[in-house]
């Protein structure tokens, strides 16, 4: 298992679009997600595992 992290920061709509784009193009198992807000900006940290394609 190789854990990775994606951090996205921006306005809510931008963050939503970026995460949707990432999830639609990557096959991942989400382990944990954290959110923080600062004014109008939102930060999302997504910890995930990419299943290995090698059998």
**DSSP-assigned letter for residue 17:** H
Task: Read off φ and ψ for residue 27, nearest 5 degrees.
Answer: -95, 110
Residues 19-52 have pLDDT tens digits of: 999 999 999 999 999 999 999 999 999 999 988 7
Which residue shows structure tokens 């930060």? 43
Query: What are the tokens at 18?
Result: 């970026």
Give residue 54's pLDDT band: very low, low, confident or very high (50, 70, 90). low
pTM score, whole prediction: 0.79
Our separate counts of H helices and E strands in the chain read: 1, 3
Give residue 53's pLDDT band: very low, low, confident or very high (50, 70, 90). low
Q: Give the C-alpha distances (Å, rounded to integers) separating 7 from 26, 46, 54.
A: 15, 6, 27
Query: What are the tokens at 36?
Result: 């923080």
Q: Domain ranges in the chain?
A: 3-49
């Amino acid at each position: 298992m190789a854990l990775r992290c994606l951090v996205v920061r921006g306005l809510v709509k931008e963050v939503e679009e970026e995460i949707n784009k990432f999830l639609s193009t990557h096959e991942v198992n989400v382990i944990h997600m954290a959110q923080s807000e600062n004014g109008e900006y939102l930060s999302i940290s997504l910890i995930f595992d990419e299943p290995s394609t090698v059998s």
